[in-house]
Amino acid sequence: MSSKAAAAAPDRSGDLRNYAIVTGAYWADTIADGASRVLVLFYFYELGYSPLKVASLFLFYEVFGIITNLVGGFVAARLGLRATLVAGLAIQIVALAMLAAVPEAWLVVAFVMVAQALSGIAKDLTKMSSKSAVKLVVPQDQEGALYRWVAVLTGSKNALKGVGFFLGGLLLSVIGFQPALWVLVGLVAAALAIVLVLMRGDLGTTDAKAKFRQMFANDRAVNVLAAARIFLFAARDVWFVVALPVYLRTVLGWTFWQVGTFLAVWVIGYGIVQASAPRLMRGRGAATGLDPDGRSATWLAFVLAALPAAIALALAAGLDPAVTLVAGLIAFGGVFALNSAVHSFLILDYARGDKVAMNVGFYYMANAAGRLGGTVCSGLIYQWHGLQACLWASAAFILAAGALSLMLPTRPQRAVGRTPIGT
Amino acid 176: pLDDT: 87
Amino acid 7: pLDDT: 42
Q: What is the 3-state secondary structure (H, E, C) of the chain?
A: CCHHHHHHHHHHHHHHHHHHHHHHHHHHHHHHHHHHHHHHHHHHHHCCCCHHHHHHHCHHHHHHHHHHHHHHHHHHHHHCHHHHHHHHHHHHHHHHHHHHHCCHHHCCHHHHHHHHHHHHHHHHHHHHHHHHHHHHHCCCCCCCHHHHHHHHHHHHHHHHHHHHHHHHHHHHHHCCHHHHHHHHHHHHHHHHHHHHHHCCCCCCCCCCCCCHHHHCCCCHHHHHHHHHHHHHHHHHHHHHCCHHHHHHHHCCCCCHHHHHHHHHHHHHHHHHHHHCHHHHCHHHHCCCCCCCCHHHHHHHHHHHHHHHHHHHHHHHCCCCHHHHHHHHHHHHHHHHHHHHHHHHHHHHHHCCHHHHHHHHHHHHHHHHHHHHHHHHHHHHHHHHHCHHHHHHHHHHHHHHHHHHHCCCCCCCCCCCCCCCCCC
Over 50: is that where the pLDDT of 301 sits? yes
Amino acid 163: pLDDT: 84
- pLDDT, tens only, 313-327: 999 998 999 999 989
Domain ranges for the chain: 9-200+213-405
- pLDDT, tens only, 159-195: 787 888 888 878 888 888 889 999 999 999 999 999 8
Check residues 372 and 400 and name the one with the higher pLDDT: 400
Amino acid 60: pLDDT: 79
Written as one string, the DSSP assignment of 52-80 is HHHHHHTHHHHHHHHHHHHHHHHHHHHH-
- Selection from 3-7, 102-106, 231-235 with the highest mean pLDDT: 231-235
- Selection from 76-80, 134-138, 208-212 with the highest mean pLDDT: 76-80
- pLDDT, tens only, 212-268: 455 555 677 888 888 899 999 999 888 887 788 888 888 888 876 777 788 888 888
pLDDT tier at 376 (50, 70, 90 boundaries)? confident
CB-CB contact of 293 with 411 (8 Å)? yes
Task: Give mean pLDDT, residues 276-294.
Answer: 61
Task: Give mean pLDDT, residues 94-123.
Answer: 86
pLDDT tier at 305 (50, 70, 90 boundaries)? very high
Mean of the per-residue pLDDT values of the chain:
77
pLDDT tier at 136 (50, 70, 90 boundaries)? low
CATH class of 9-200+213-405: mainly alpha
Over 60: is that where the pLDDT of 63 sits? yes
Over 80: is that where the pLDDT of 151 sits? no
CB-CB contact of 372 with 233 (8 Å)? no
CB-CB contact of 152 with 274 (8 Å)? no
